[in-house]
Amino acid sequence: MPVEVLMPALSPTMEKGTLAKWHVSEGDTVGSGDVIAEIETDKATMEVESVEEGRIGKILVSEGTLDVPVNAPIAIILYEGDDENTPLPEGSKQQAEPDAKESAAPEKQEEPEKAPTNQVKITVREALRDAMAEEMRKDETVFVMGEEVAEYQGAYKVTQGLLDEFGARRVIDTPITEYGFAGIGCGAAMAGLRPIVEFMTFNFAMQAIDHIINSAAKTLYMSGGQMRCPIVFRGPNGAASRVGAQHSQDYSAWYASVPGLKVIAPYTAADAKGLLKAAIRDPNPVVFLENEMLYGQSFDVPDTDDHIVPIGKANIRQQGDDVTIVSYSRGLAYVEEADAALKELNINAEVIDLRTLRPLDMETILTSVKKTNRLIVVEEGWPVCSVGSEICSAVSSLAFDDLDAPCLKVSGKDVPMPYAANLEKLALPTAGDIVEAVKKVTYTQ
Amino acid sequence: MSSDHKKSTKQSAVKPEKVKPKQKIELYRQMLLIRRFEEKAGQLYGMGHIGGFCHLYIGQEAVVTGMNAVKEEGDQVITGYRDHGHMLVCGMEPNGVMAELTGREGGYSRGKGGSMHMFSVEKKFYGGHGIVGAQVPLGTGLAFANKYRDNGNVSMAYFGDGAANQGQVYESFNMAKLWSLPVVFVIENNRYGMGTSIERASSTTDLSHRGASFDIPGIKCDGMDVFKVMQAGKEALAHARSGKGPFIIEMVTYRYRGHSMSDPAKYRSRDEVDEMRKDHDPITTLKDMLLEDGDIDEAGLKEIDAEIRKVVSEAAEFAQNSPEPKTDELYTDILVAND
């Protein structure tokens, strides 16, 4: 019976890829382990090997096709005795999805409103890269260091192309020694350079947190204002997908509690770009928390090399009167999902994207709460001593008389991140959790 | 201990007779200033004018004094928390250092840093760091900036025998060598990491070999002899400046006082301390040499002594009279206002 070859995933977070090359043609005989195709994502390239022995019956996705979804059938392998007319087994994808090219899902559209003419749609990954490249062109003291940032083009391809443009003096591969290179970055910043230190993920920055806090954040104060440390620590933060407890932690609340740091956690590509540029120009140490799950998402970004978003200003993503929902980074993806359900309930939420976690834009939050009289804070991090805890406490003390319901937090659960797919889902906040919280504070049945 | 000192440097020492009398007297003056300053700091601590931790440099004066004598304009210095001597030889004002110890407005950090956290960007002194070993990657980062700018300067990162066991030190060694950074790692081996002797804390006690697996050359030097320090420093700085990358000097030295003012130092014998003071004191040794060579007479020495006592007592007075920082200083210098 014929067997389908499916589009493989290169990583747990990959959703689609490009079929770059076929090494075989229809009718060719293949053995187990033979390379039959090459696929690419913006992060990596991989060869597809046949796991079957047989004959290529049909190539379903032609060479050069973009955005082929993971698990879409790309070819059919025939066994001895099969021919082109032998039916596929029950449950094959090919039956349900007749053409992989057709089924290639378009990029999720994050901002439905019509974009002004001078906007371009780019991914968060590209936005971050462009921000660094533009600032490096402008300021010779800006350089990037980290694991795999140069020759490998970035573990998540965020630094793609920087080595080619700026050379090995300014795009520096480091050994896997976070404590050491974070300290070297701080020393270079104290000497007046403007380092961008990339952590492959913020989970590994725990080894370097001593320098982030003791060397970067405190030096200006301890030196009576003499010694600056203009440095950006950036990289993906928070849960990725199926990588378990040690690679899935949200450090937002940790860094946001430290005086002497600025802490940024953008959601959209435009904010990622504008805020990273602002961070690089800032004379203070900045912790810039990205999210791996957002890297591949596209958003409209102003088509200019001078798009700066001010640090410390939240953004009202959606106006509403019934409840204020505050979130940041990937938390907003859950909020947007919940919002559709809320609209069906006739609840108009005001959605605030914090963008910066330190300093917090309390003014925007308080103004909104004065209008809606209700507050929900959504985050992926743990609930104890969280960003939500801080905001709920501040709103309760500063706007007590404006509140018609208790401030509620929707957060990740108070557990290390489990590996099992079902448990992982349970450990993260969901749109359903948000809807439930909103129903509670709006007294909706 | 004494045998360690005798076999010490592989290098032939700077011949003291080749150092000009004027410079010898200046070295003496600097070491004596550190000694008297630290004695005064100890006194003020005892009187309650200095709070918290206060780590005195008494006994180790030849190390920073010798290194400072051979550095070039623009070379940077960074160290841990036993930092008063480093600041004084860098040319930082005794008044400002002492007033920082007392936590006053006139201190280098306007009272907000304290004994362990002082800086002078102007004098190329980059602190003053309270976390054991943290200054090593930071100092390597200063060297990174030197290489990035190709300015010909060398960074000197001082750390102790205790810090020499820190993981981040080896991460720094690796990158410093990998990238040929102009840095001299000066290990001030005073034989005790707080109360634990080096033999009880380190699997190997010859710290000059600690760069061996990174192919970083290292030498052991008698850190109680200012001329030997100068010679080792010269070689190390020239190596780093020439583009060959990092260099390690293990300075075998000794602190006479406890780890900090609150340490009674019961982990070593009084005889051990007395022997060092009597036979190896860097200041007494140089003083005897100056007299023997006729570079100075007793009256000249007295004059220097009086002059230093005056500087130190003025610093103590300044440090006690300088007002405490204004209360609104609590909220300043947390972030730089955007330029």
The DSSP symbol for A418 reads P
3-state SS class at A224: coil
Q: pLDDT digit string (tens) for B69-87?
A: 999 999 999 999 999 999 9
Separation of alpha carbons B90 and B122, rounded Å: 10
> Nearest CB to A210: which of B112, B117, B131?
B131
Residue A113 has pLDDT above 70, yes or no: no
> For residue B169, what is the nearest residue in chain A, using CA coordinates?
A180
Instruction: State the smallest CA–CA distance between residue A155 and chain B in angstroms.
Output: 20
Token pair, residue A138, equals: 């402008």
Cβ–Cβ below 8 Å for B148 and A182: no
Query: Length of chain A in residues, anyone?
Result: 445
Separation of alpha carbons A320 and A442, rounded Å: 13
Domain count, chain B: 1
**Least-confidence region, from A51-55, A133-137, A271-275:** A51-55
Separation of alpha carbons B77 and A72, rounded Å: 61
Separation of alpha carbons B73 and A273, rounded Å: 41
Separation of alpha carbons A164 and A156, rounded Å: 17
3-state SS class at A435: helix
Q: Considering chain A, what percentage of its residues have pLDDT values greater than 70?
A: 92
Q: What is the mean pLDDT of residues A366-386?
A: 98
CB A297 within 8 A of CB A108: yes
Question: Torsion angle, CA of A190/B131/B113/B255, rounded to 10 degrees?
Answer: -110
Within the 48-77 window of chain B, which residues sit less than 8 Å (CB to CB) from chain A? 76
CB B168 within 8 A of CB A212: no
Assigned domain for B60 exists: yes
Separation of alpha carbons A357 and A354, rounded Å: 7
Query: Chain A within 8 Å of B96 (Cβ-Cβ)?
Result: no
Q: Which residue has the higher pLDDT, A82 or A347?
A: A347
Separation of alpha carbons B28 and A194, rounded Å: 40
The DSSP symbol for A7 reads P
Q: Which residue has the higher pLDDT, B100 or A13?
A: B100
3-state SS class at A155: coil
Instruction: State the smallest CA–CA distance between residue A317 and chain B in angstroms.
Output: 27
Q: Is the backbone peptide bond immediately before A359 cis, with ω within 30 degrees of 0?
A: yes
pTM: 0.86
Pairing of strands A356-358, A65-69: unpaired
Cβ–Cβ below 8 Å for B117 and A223: yes
Residue among B77, B335, B264 nearest B183 (CA): B77
Instruction: State the smallest CA–CA distance between residue B103 and chain A in angstroms.
Output: 11
Residue A173 has pLDDT above 90, yes or no: yes
Query: Chain B within 8 Å of A224 (Cβ-Cβ)?
Result: yes
> Nearest CB to A184: which of B109, B131, B172?
B172
What pLDDT sits at residue A111? Answer: 47
Tell me what the pLDDT averaged over chain A comes to. 91
Looking up tokens 């509403």 gives A320
Q: What is the DSSP string of A28-80?
A: -EE-TT-EEEEEE-SS-EEEEEP-S-EEEEEE-S-TTEEEEETT-EEEEEEPT
Question: What residues of A are labeled active site?
Answer: 178, 247
Separation of alpha carbons A118 and B105, rounded Å: 53
What pLDDT sits at residue A34? Answer: 85
Query: Chain A within 8 Å of B145 (Cβ-Cβ)?
Result: yes
How many CA atoms are closer than 13 Å to the CA of A437, on its beta-carbon side?
Answer: 26
Separation of alpha carbons B42 and A188, rounded Å: 34
Assigned domain for B152 exists: yes
What pLDDT sits at residue A353? Answer: 98
Residue among A137, A204, A139, A186 nearest A285 (CA): A186
CB A355 within 8 A of CB A265: yes
> Nearest CB to A283: which of B144, B148, B336?
B336
CB atoms within 10 A of CB A209: 19
Q: Which residue has the higher pLDDT, A161 or A38?
A: A161
Residue to mutate among B125, B178, B336, with most A CBs inside 10 A, is B336
> For residue A188, what is the nearest residue in chain B, using CA coordinates?
B141
Query: Chain B within 8 Å of A167 (Cβ-Cβ)?
Result: no
Cβ–Cβ below 8 Å for A192 and B171: no
Contacts of B148 in chain A (CB under 8 A): 143, 169, 188, 193
The full 3-state SS of chain B, as one line of letters, equals CHHHHHHCCCCCCCCHHHCCHHHHHHHHHHHHHHHHHHHHHHHHHHCCCCCCCCCCCCCCHHHHHHHHHHCCCCCEEEECCCCHHHHHHCCCCHHHHHHHHCCCCCCCCCCCCCCCCCCECCCCEEEECCCCCCHHHHHHHHHHHHHHHCCCCCEEEEEECCHHHCHHHHHHHHHHHHCCCCEEEEEEECCEECCEEHHHHCCCCCHHHCCHHHCCCEEEEECCCHHHHHHHHHHHHHHHHHHHCCEEEEEECCCCCCCCCCCCCCCCCHHHHHHHHHHHCHHHHHHHHHHHCCCCCHHHHHHHHHHHHHHHHHHHHHHHHCCCCCHHHHHCCCCCCCC
Beta-bridge partner residues of A196 = A144, A232
Residue A169 has pLDDT above 70, yes or no: yes
Contacts of A189 in chain B (CB under 8 A): 141
Contacts of B121 in chain A (CB under 8 A): 226-227
Looking up tokens 């060719």 gives A28
Residue A258 has pLDDT above 80, yes or no: yes
Within the 99-128 window of chain B, which residues sit less than 8 Å (CB to CB) from chain A? 107-113, 117-121, 126-128
Cβ–Cβ below 8 Å for A225 and B333: yes
Query: Chain B within 8 Å of A283 (Cβ-Cβ)?
Result: yes
Q: What is the ipTM of this complex?
A: 0.91
What pLDDT sits at residue A69? Answer: 87
Assigned domain for B29 exists: yes
**Least-confidence region, from A102-116, B36-50, B230-244:** A102-116
Q: Which residue has the higher pLDDT, A15 or A188?
A: A188
Residue among B42, B223, B73 nearest B154 (CA): B73
Residue among A393, A336, A333, A346 nearest A366 (CA): A393
Name the band, by pLDDT with cuts 50, 70 and 90, for residue A103. Answer: very low
> Nearest CB to B117: which of A190, A222, A262?
A222
Assigned domain for B336 exists: no
What pLDDT sits at residue A15? Answer: 79
Token pair, residue A126, equals: 């590209």
3-state SS class at A258: coil
Cβ–Cβ below 8 Å for A193 and B145: yes
List Cβ neighbours of A352 (8 Å cut-off, separation of 6 or more).
Answer: A314, A315, A316, A317, A324, A325, A326, A327, A364, A365, A368
Contacts of A188 in chain B (CB under 8 A): 141-142, 144-145, 148
What pLDDT sits at residue A84? Answer: 66
Cβ–Cβ below 8 Å for A223 and B109: yes
Cβ–Cβ below 8 Å for A179 and B171: yes
Cβ–Cβ below 8 Å for B167 and A179: yes
Token pair, residue A279, equals: 């961070």
Cβ–Cβ below 8 Å for A262 and B335: yes
Separation of alpha carbons A73 and A99, rounded Å: 9
Token pair, residue A199, equals: 């952590």
CA-angle at A334, arms to A331 and A339, nearest 5°: 125
Within the 194-213 window of chain A, which residues sit less than 8 Å (CB to CB) from chain B? 210-211
CA-angle at A325, arms to A320 and A329, nearest 5°: 120
Contacts of A224 in chain B (CB under 8 A): 107-113, 333
Assigned domain for B58 exists: yes
3-state SS class at A86: coil
CATH number at residue B7: 3.40.50.970
What pLDDT sits at residue A79? Answer: 80
Contacts of A180 in chain B (CB under 8 A): 137, 140, 168, 171-172, 174-175
Contacts of A226 in chain B (CB under 8 A): 108-109, 119-121
Q: pLDDT digit string (tens) for B259-303?
A: 888 888 889 999 999 999 999 999 999 999 999 999 999 999 999
Token pair, residue B165, equals: 């066991």
Instruction: State the smallest CA–CA distance between residue A175 and chain B in angstroms.
Output: 8
Residue among A139, A165, A181 nearest A281 (CA): A139
**Least-confidence region, from A16-30, B34-48, B176-190, B200-214:** A16-30
Assigned domain for B327 exists: no
Q: Which residue has the higher pLDDT, A142 or A36?
A: A142
Contacts of B138 in chain A (CB under 8 A): 183-184, 186-187, 190, 211, 215
List Cβ neighbours of A166 (8 Å cut-off, separation of 6 or more).
Answer: A133, A136, A143
Assigned domain for B334 exists: no
Q: What is the mean pLDDT of residues A154-165?
A: 97
What pLDDT sits at residue A98? Answer: 40
Cβ–Cβ below 8 Å for B112 and A224: yes
Contacts of B168 in chain A (CB under 8 A): 179-180, 183
> Nearest CB to A190: which of B118, B138, B336?
B138
Question: Torsion angle, CA of A162/A164/A170/A176, rounded to 10 degrees?
Answer: 70
Cβ–Cβ below 8 Å for A183 and B168: yes
Separation of alpha carbons A384 and A260, rounded Å: 23
Assigned domain for B108 exists: yes
Residue B208 has pLDDT above 60, yes or no: yes
Pairing of strands A65-69, A16-22: antiparallel
Containing structural domain, residue B247: 3-321
CB B98 within 8 A of CB B41: yes
